[in-house]
Chain A
């Protein structure tokens, strides 16, 4: 048997152990990406083989807290894909402005860069006072950092360029305080943010929202889990609520494609139809 095949067995056992011992369900994650992450985790912890992760995982309850954050490595930036935020500003926010309360769910918020981007945009459009952003993630470490809202200053130059391309009306530096190589996001941006742990693979609807932003999360899931999550999104959105996916993600081949219409297919902005056929 080849090493690669033995490694596949070890990955299967590791995923199964994680699920049966702690309830973390990575069984329907896209396998190639997950495999690379598990391998890197094993290497980072000084193990030669993935199989060596399994014993501490089963017998040392503290070990799982080292493992899970490494399996959902968050990589994000402020106003990433500025054209998406520009389209949101122009095509979605004017519609949201007609609602007395605006609930937004950012699913898979990672370290929060996009949550702050949304807050800034809502503020500039005069909507933040009546908005609430629910920012959720499976990764507690990332969530804690998102809540802090402190980002390395070296990234802010790129973030500023994105912000301007996204239709920013001021200067990004108006929204943070720079000190010791870090940018601390303005406290007023955090007023209407709620951070919570939510597992897209196992948790259900927790509120009714006007818009869901979930970018570059679905690519980590297999088709089965993608469809589960998309149904969850459909059921969490109000009628004619908006959904924003990553630039390489699409509803085209999903089970719930008929429940949504494209607002802007290029920027992956969708809107739930008035009467969703698949809705129970």
Chain B
């Protein structure tokens, strides 16, 4: 598992999502090696609010994703309220105001499905608390493309419809509580055992 080169993490959530994001995202170090992209169902007029809130707690920079800007490491990119967030093949962001999917915009499915194509088997999808079934198709696309899918354990979710629908569709690899999701993300992105670089670090400092 350590040799696998993951290239991005996508996270989707709805009702109760902010609290869970606050349990996970602040634990990511400033040098977390993967871009993190978040869709949360927020009211259309709360422009920049989620990014502002999360930014206060995170070591990684948090900002609304801009149309045509590159998906970069060292950042948490948030879908702007009122827009679907998509990933182009060249790994830049795209926004649109197409009709709602699963009654929401931004939709988790739209991000996950386009990210699954852009990153194919090198994508980690995380589906958290939520009261609708958005995200289920997206998780299927990630798993189908050879990526890794993680769902929040329903008993720890404020609203369990979202993770439960993906779990019962059979498209979830791992079901974990929020703290374990953070630990898993850190472990997946840390080489197992001391690498030559790390050994050098311990002697050199």
Contacts and interface: CB of A to CB of B under 8 A. Distances in A.
Interface stretch (A26-34, A51-59, A61-69, A197-205): A26-34
A73 B98 contact: yes
A187 interface: no
B135 interface: no
A173 interface: no
B68 A223 contact: yes
Interface residues of B, number: 22
B47 interface: yes
Contact of B95 (A4, A36, A73, A248): A248
A216 B87 contact: no
Interface in A35-60: 36-37
Interface in A212-262: 216, 219-220, 223, 246-250, 253
Contact of A219 (B97, B99, B145): B97
A75 interface: yes
B83 interface: yes
Contacts of A37: 98
B86 A75 contact: no
Contacts, number: 50
Interface string A139-178: 0000000000000000000000000000000000000000
Contact of A31 (B80, B88, B97): B88
B94 A32 contact: yes
Contacts of B114: 32, 36
B174 interface: no
Contacts of A36: 86, 98, 110, 114
Interface string B32-55: 000000000000000100000000
B98 A219 contact: no
Contacts of B88: 30-32
B67 interface: yes
Nearest to B105: A75
Interface residues of A, number: 21
B187 interface: no
Contact of A4 (B68, B96, B117): B117
B89 interface: yes
B87 A32 contact: yes
Contact of B94 (A30, A73, A75, A216): A30
A37 B114 CA distance: 13
B7 interface: no
Interface string A80-120: 00000000000000000000000000000000000000000
B133 interface: no
Contacts of A30: 88, 94, 96
Nearest to B89: A31
A247 B48 CA distance: 11
A219 B110 contact: no
Given A4-B117, A249-B67, A75 B98 contact: yes
Contacts of B67: 219, 248-249
Interface in B93-122: 94-99, 110, 114, 117, 120
Contacts of B87: 32
Interface in B76-92: 80, 83, 86-89
B163 to A, nearest CB: 24
B119 to A, nearest CB: 12
A36 B112 CA distance: 13
A253 B94 CA distance: 15
Interface in B57-86: 64, 66-68, 80, 83, 86
Sort A-B residue pairs by CB-CB distance and give the 5 closest, nearest first.
A32-B86, A33-B96, A216-B97, A219-B95, A32-B94
Given A32-B94, A73-B98, A75-B99, 15 more contacts: A32-B86, A32-B87, A32-B89, A33-B96, A36-B110, A75-B97, A76-B97, A216-B97, A219-B67, A219-B94, A219-B97, A220-B96, A248-B64, A250-B66, A253-B68
